[in-house]
Amino acid sequence: MSDANAKSSMPTGTPVWVWIGVAVVVLLAVAGGGWWWLHGAHKTNVAAKRPNLVGMLGDTVTALDTTLPDKDKICSASLTRALDFGVLPPGASLASQEAKEGQPEGRYTCEAQAGDGKYILGIDSSCPNSQEKTCFALDSVKRDNGAVVYQRRSS
pLDDT digits (tens, 9 = 90+) for 140-154: 999 989 899 888 876
pLDDT digits (tens, 9 = 90+) for 119-143: 999 988 877 666 665 677 888 999 9
User: For residues 56 and 65, what is the distance between their CA atoms, to the nearest angstrom?
Assistant: 11
User: For residues 86 and 42, what is the distance between their CA atoms, to the nearest angstrom?
Assistant: 19
User: For residues 152 and 140, what is the distance between their CA atoms, to the nearest angstrom?
Assistant: 6
pLDDT digits (tens, 9 = 90+) for 49-87: 444 443 444 445 555 556 777 778 888 888 988 898 888
Full-model pTM: 0.55
As a whole number, the mean pLDDT across the chain is 76
pLDDT digits (tens, 9 = 90+) for 3-17: 556 565 655 677 888
User: Are 121 and 94 contacting, i.e. CB atoms less than 8 angstroms apart?
Assistant: no
Q: What is the pLDDT at residue 130?
A: 64
Q: How many Cβ atoms are within 10 Å of 108's Cβ, its own excluded?
A: 21
Amino acid at 155: S
Q: What is the pLDDT at residue 27?
A: 93
* Cα 43 → chain centroid: 10
